[in-house]
A and B are shown apart, each in its own frame.
Chain A
């Protein structure tokens, strides 16, 4: 059974960089059939896609966050990571990592991590 687990600091200071890692177990991150992505959800609000990455390193980003986001992959560790720079209180959210199924040029999220709350505060 595929499992994804987010890890990283739960508290980040304003203007600093938020860094999270997603560890994938029960399957290979190097499969050609999947992308891997980050989604966030501010308290009491809806889902917001941050970006996605293929095992080769090819990325797609949400245009509204693109200038501050970097997603990378480490196939040797079966992990992918998120960096979000210059954070503000508006970046406080539960951050999820997830697998995207790729079929016929369509992508959807079929496995999700449990999510991790990141609070931006001094």
Chain B
């Protein structure tokens, strides 16, 4: 089955740019979706179709996908962005989630 690999943690200072990667075999040929989950809350969709933002999600959130790596980029990071982030694909009629990345704002 298809595997998505995320770094367990990423740290960034406020105001800087955070990049969270999601690795998979030829993931650039698939569509990747990203979720933000804060403690005690349900996940929230922040990026779909590699780089589209749902309404209400700040422009600071962007996504890209090429080759074997998809990337969620958060610009001008704020304390409120501290959360777990998960990537997801739909592959061979199966939903696959990455293991998640904890974003820490220093």
User: Closest CB of chain B to A13's CB: distance in Å?
Assistant: 26
User: Are B54 and A49 in contact (CB-based, < 8 A)?
Assistant: no
User: Are A110 and B48 in contact (CB-based, < 8 A)?
Assistant: yes
User: Are B45 and A110 in contact (CB-based, < 8 A)?
Assistant: yes
Q: Is the interface of A mostly helix, strand, loop or mixed?
A: strand
User: Are A46 and B93 in contact (CB-based, < 8 A)?
Assistant: no
User: Are B1 and A109 in contact (CB-based, < 8 A)?
Assistant: no
User: Closest CB of chain A to B32's CB: distance in Å?
Assistant: 9
Interface residue from B33, B37, B44, B93 paired with A60 (Cβ < 8 Å): B93
Interface flag for B64 (CB, 8 Å): no
Bound CA span A50–B44, Å: 18
Chain B residues with Cβ under 8 A from A62's Cβ?
94-95
- Asked whether A52 and B95 contact (CB < 8 A) given A63-B1, A112-B42, the answer is yes
Interfacial residues of chain A within 95-120, with CB under 8 A of chain B in the complex: 96, 100-101, 103, 105-110, 112-115
Query: Which size bracket describes the interface of B in this complex?
Result: 20 to 34
Bound CA span A109–B49, Å: 12
Total contacts A to B, CB within 8 angstroms? Answer: 58
User: Are B100 and A49 in contact (CB-based, < 8 A)?
Assistant: no
User: Closest CB of chain B to A54's CB: distance in Å?
Assistant: 12
Chain B residues with Cβ under 8 A from A110's Cβ?
45, 48, 54
User: Are B90 and A63 in contact (CB-based, < 8 A)?
Assistant: no
User: Are B48 and A108 in contact (CB-based, < 8 A)?
Assistant: yes
Bound CA span A114–B37, Å: 12
User: Are B97 and A47 in contact (CB-based, < 8 A)?
Assistant: yes
Interfacial residues of chain A within 46-67, with CB under 8 A of chain B in the complex: 46-49, 52, 60, 62-63
User: Are A46 and B100 in contact (CB-based, < 8 A)?
Assistant: yes
Interface flag for B14 (CB, 8 Å): no
Residues of B near any A CB (own CB < 8 A): 1, 31, 33, 35, 37, 42-45, 48-49, 54, 84, 86, 88, 90, 93-100
Closest 7 CB pairs of A and B: A49-B95, A108-B33, A112-B42, A46-B100, A107-B90, A47-B97, A106-B31
**A-B residue pairs in contact (CB < 8 Å), sample of 18:** A46-B86, A46-B98, A47-B35, A47-B37, A47-B86, A48-B97, A49-B95, A49-B97, A52-B95, A62-B95, A96-B42, A101-B48, A106-B31, A108-B90, A109-B35, A110-B54, A112-B44, A113-B42
